Chains A and B, each alone.
Chain A
Amino acid sequence: MARAEPRRNAADMAPIGEPDGGIMVAVRATLRRDLVLLLRGRGEVLNPLVFFALVITLFPIGISPDPELLATIAPGLLWVAALLAALLSLDGLFRGDYEDGSLEQLLLAPQPLPALALAKVAVHWLLTGLPLALMAPVLGIMLSLPAGSYLVLALSLALGSASLSLIGAIGAALTVGLSRGGVLLSLLVLPLYIPVLIFGAGAVQAAIQGAGVSAHLAILGALLAVALIFAPWAIAASLRISING
C-alpha cells in the first residue's frame, strides 16, 4: 500500500476521476473509449456487415439460384461468410491503437493487461459479432433457409462469434507489429476457428433437421468458456511481444 501514497497526492493536485483506478474502472474506461471510437468511425462497424451481405450474394450467382439447393448449403454458407467477415475486421482490432501509441499506454497501465485486452475484445464482439448474428437471419431468408432455424442461427452466431473474437484477437495481437500482417493473420487464426465453425453450422443443421440444438449450443458455450479462460492471457503476452519487438 506504500504505492498509494504519491498517487493520492497527485490526485489532490489534479482532481480528475478516480484517484486510484481498480480493474473495473480501467475496464469501463477502455470499453467506453473503444465504443465511442468505433461508433464515430462508422465504416469499421459497417464494412464487415456489407462484406457479409456481399459474400452471401456471390453464392447464388456462382452456384445456382435454385432455392432447394441453396437451402441445403445455407447454414454452412452463412457461417463461413460470417466467420470471414469477423476475420477481416480483426486486423483493425489493435492496429489503430498501435499506430497512435495508445496501445503502449495500455501496456503501461497499472491494471492487468489481460483485463483491458478482454474489454477491447468485448467491444469488438459487440460491434462485429453481434451485428453479424442479428443480420444473419435476413440473409438466411434470401438463401431460403428453412423456417424454424432463424433463432438458432442468430444464437449460434452470437455465441460462436464471441469465441471467434477471442481467438482471433490472439492472432491480431501477434501480427499487429508487422507491416503486412493481414494474410498472415488469417493463416494463423483460421485453423483455430474450425471447432467453432463445426458446432455453429452444426447447430443450424440440427435445427433444420428438427434435432435438438441444445447440445451444439452447449458446446459452443463450452468453447467460449475455454477461450475466456486462456485467450486474455495469450492476447496480453502477444501484445507485449509485438510492442517490445
Chain B
Amino acid sequence: MVSSKKRLGNYRKRSERTAFLFMLPSLSVLFIFVFIPLVSSFILGVFDVNIFLTNFNFVGLKHFQNIFADERVWNAFKNTFIFTFAEAGLQVSFGFLVACLISGNTFFQRAARSIYFIPVVCSMTSVGLIGMMILDPNIGSIPYLIASLGFDKPMMLKDPKTALFIIVLITVWKNFGQTMIILAAGLAGIGRNYYEAAQIDGASKLQQTRFITVPLIWPSLSFCFVTNLIGSFQVFDIAFVATKGGPLFSTETVVQLIYARGFSGDMNLGYASALAVVLLVVIVVFTMTLYGLLNRQERKMFG
C-alpha cells in the first residue's frame, strides 16, 4: 500500500519533470524576448523618455492622466472596438460557412480551398496597396462599376463614414481563408459515422451542423475566434498602408496612435508605452473573459 503510493508519487514527480523539459525551450525564449521586454515597457510608461533613450525623467502617472483626457485616444479605442468585433465576427462566421461548403473532396471543392487561401499568403502591405488602387474613386474599377450600375459613386476609403468598414472588408477578404483551413482541418477529423447515424435518425442538414459539427469542432472554433479577436485588437498594417488613419482619424486605431506618438512625430516613448499598457489591459480583460466562457463550454463538452 505504502509502496504503491510512493511509486505514484515518483511517477508524478517524473512526469512533472518531463513536462517542464518539453516546455523549456519555448518558455525560456518567451521569457527573454516577450516577458522582459514587456516589463521594460511598463517601466518606460512612468518616465518622460524619447526613442533614443536619452533624458530619462520620472513623471509618475502623468502619461496615464493625459491618456484619459485625450479625445484622440477615445476615438482610437472606439475605432479599434468597432473593427475588432466586426472583423472577428465576420471572419469566423464566414470562414465556418465556407469551411462547411468546401469540406467535401470534389475537384471544385479542392480548387476552391486553394484559391481562397491565396490572399492569406500575400502580405498586408501588398494587399493594402492593391486595395487602395482598385477602390480609388478616380482610377479604381470597383467604384466605377458601382457608379455605372446607377448608384452614387462611393468614395470608399476616402469617406470617413465608410472607410473603417471598407478596412474591415479588406481584412476579412485577406484572412477568411486562414479560418477556413483551420476549421476544415477540424471538420475532416469528425468521423463520418456520426453523420451516418444522424441520417438514419432522420436529422436534417441544419440539425447535423448544430448538434454534431459545432460541438465537435468547438476547440477549433473558439481558437479561431480568440486569436482573431486578439489579432484585430492590434490592427496596424492595413490602416497604416491604406489610409494612414484618415480621413479625419476615422480609421486611426490604438496601435497606430501608439506608433504615431512613440516612433514618429514627437517620439515620446514614455507616452506610447503608457498607452500600450492601457491597450494591453483592455485586450487581456476582454479576451480572458471570452476565453473563460468558451473554455467552460469546452470542458462541458470534453469532460
Q: Do A and B come from one complex?
A: no
